[in-house]
Amino acid sequence: MTAGIDDISIYIPRLYVDANDFAEARGLDPAKLQKGLGVSKMAIVDTNQDPACLAANACLSVMQNNKLSPEDIGRLYVSTESSFDESKAMNSYVIGMLEQVYGQGAFEHCGGVETKFACVSGSYALYDNLNWIRAGEAEGKAALVVVSDIAKYDLGSSGEMTQGAGAVTMLLNDHPRLLTFDPRVTATSIRDEYDFYRPFGKETPIVHGQYSNLLYMIQVRKALEIYKDKAVSTGLIKLEPGETILDHMDYINMHLPYSAMGKKALAYLVRHEWRQLPRWKKIIQEIGMEEPVPKDPRGTIESVLRDHEFMTKDHEFTKLFTQTPEYQEVYEAKLSSSLIASKMIGNLYTASLYLGFRSSLEFEYQKGIDLEGKRVGFGAYGSGSSAMVFSGVIQPEYKEVVKSMNLEEELGSRRKLTLNEYETIHENKLGLEESILKTKHEFILVNVNTSIESRGERRYVFTK
């Protein structure tokens, strides 16, 4: 049985911080954000929004756009790393909110859990729900997989320039209009790591930034190797001599904590794939330098990062490699459209891979490219750490959905925050009722109980 994504909806908070204002306030060169990291705006949640509201708003929009009733939905999963309760799952809050619109008990039949594994848990939730459909357990119902996060780092930290917030809901079924996933090729890699983590009770993560960048690329590469073996052994892809598995992916979507990370990770994967092929000789000639190797090629990530001579040369090599026409062609054709939304919105943690996919569909369609039958590869990464690589094929009915995608329109009129306003919100100095924006037809958080017996109970309303 086939299974895949029928539709995607997004919810992005309307407040944002402008990268140039941010750079000025922190004494940074704006080019570091705009060009170095590929960040131009970072979406920020209002005082009365939490990740559950974002998720519920994205769910409502996919349900309304597709005229779905709760009876059409068999499962609702929420994947997040911005959880605010150690026990109560975020999908239960979302169901509570949706039932304000659809009636109490309307989703009672609907199963689901909250999943957590930093930014990769949405991909695990997607995989589990696709298998639920493939196994014939869905009985004609659809699954909603919602990825929702608030990417918030400490003021003044190096992660602060890679913030953002938002939710993406994917409607999954057995007759998807957008994308059918390739069966039996999903690949995973996992390792106990401390590149980025958020201990209990801490609102912001502890991050080892450069370590996390390198680990991301190593882990995704490992998963790609496994994907390659599976794709070849299942007969999905036949590799001719001189080809790489990436040649068989028309589009590649990467996890995007900031948009330039996608470019960096793609360059890493392409470089490692091409190195074994005859075409590499020409690339090395174009670059004009040999590919550097670390002093201890079997060393740890720490030893590689400490090897300053290697890191400097490798940085130079990567820069030259990404300027070659061969890499530029791959980048422009397979990745570039997926980065557009990330630049405009910022980091969505779990949701960033799927915002990238949505972005790629919209902006490739706008170029007039026929997307039917194109294979899309996905490279997911979650700190802590695990990577997943999988793929799918765009379906003949994709136009029905993609033709009405309009990111600018969906973002609506956004309100730029001053740095002072942003810092006040960031430090939680305003109450829920002191929101900057007044919203209509959206779920908002109106109360968090502080009494001893009901501490932490949250109340939401759907604004009229």
Compute the distance between CA of residue 462 and CA of residue 75 in angstroms, rounded to an integer: 22
CB of 178 to ligand CAA, least distance (A): 24
Considering only CA atoms, give the Rg of the chain: 22
Contacts within 8 Å (CB) and 24+ apart, 365-372: 365/399, 365/402, 365/403, 365/405, 367/337, 371/398, 371/402, 372/396, 372/398
Compute the distance between CA of residue 61 and CA of residue 435 in angstroms, rounded to an integer: 22
Token pair belonging to 157: 């930290």
Residues numbered 37 to 66 that lie near ligand CAA (CB under 6 A) are: 37
DSSP state at residue 367: T
**What is the H or E stretch that residue 389 is in?**
strand 386-394
Compute the distance between CA of residue 396 and CA of residue 412 in angstroms, rounded to an integer: 30
Nearer to ligand CAA, 107 or 317 (CB): 317
Nearer to ligand CAA, 210 or 418 (CB): 210
User: Is residue 29 part of the contact set for ligand CAA (CB under 6 A)?
Assistant: yes
Nearer to ligand CAA, 349 or 398 (CB): 349
Q: Which stretch binds ligand CAA (CB under 6 A): 63-71, 179-187, 211-219, 242-250?
A: 211-219
Q: Which of 47, 57, 162, 259: binder of ligand CAA (CB under 6 A)?
A: 162
Nearer to ligand CAA, 117 or 227 (CB): 117
Q: Which stretch binds ligand CAA (CB under 6 A): 257-265, 272-280, 289-297, 395-403?
A: 257-265
196 CB neighbour count, 10 Å cutoff: 25
Nearer to ligand CAA, 82 or 212 (CB): 212
Nearer to ligand CAA, 214 or 444 (CB): 214
Q: Which of 1, 24, 31, 463: binder of ligand CAA (CB under 6 A)?
A: 31
**DSSP assignments along 50-118, one per residue:** -HHHHHHHHHHHHHHHTT--GGGEEEEEEE-S----SSS-HHHHHHHHHHHHH-TTTTTT-B--EE-BT
DSSP state at residue 350: G
Q: Which of 4, 74, 176, 257: binder of ligand CAA (CB under 6 A)?
A: 257
Nearer to ligand CAA, 50 or 81 (CB): 81
Exposed e or buried b per residue across 331-360, where buried means at least 16 C-beta atoms within 10 angstroms of its C-beta: beebbbbbbbbbbbbbbbbbbbbbbbbbbb
User: Is residue 196 part of the contact set for ligand CAA (CB under 6 A)?
Assistant: yes
Q: Which of 327, 363, 381, 390: binder of ligand CAA (CB under 6 A)?
A: 381
Q: Which of 1, 24, 35, 370: binder of ligand CAA (CB under 6 A)?
A: 35
Q: How far is CA 24 from CA 21, 291, 327, in A?
A: 5, 37, 33
| String marking each residue 100-129 x if it binds ligand CAA according to CB under 6 A | ------------------xx----------
Q: How far is CA 309 from the centre of its chain?
A: 33
User: Is residue 32 part of the contact set for ligand CAA (CB under 6 A)?
Assistant: yes
Nearer to ligand CAA, 212 or 253 (CB): 212
Nearer to ligand CAA, 31 or 448 (CB): 31
Residues numbered 392 to 411 that lie near ligand CAA (CB under 6 A) are: none
Q: Which of 383, 391, 395, 435: binder of ligand CAA (CB under 6 A)?
A: 383
Q: Which of 51, 74, 159, 356: binder of ligand CAA (CB under 6 A)?
A: 159
Site size toward ligand CAA (CB under 6 A) is 27
180 CB neighbour count, 10 Å cutoff: 18
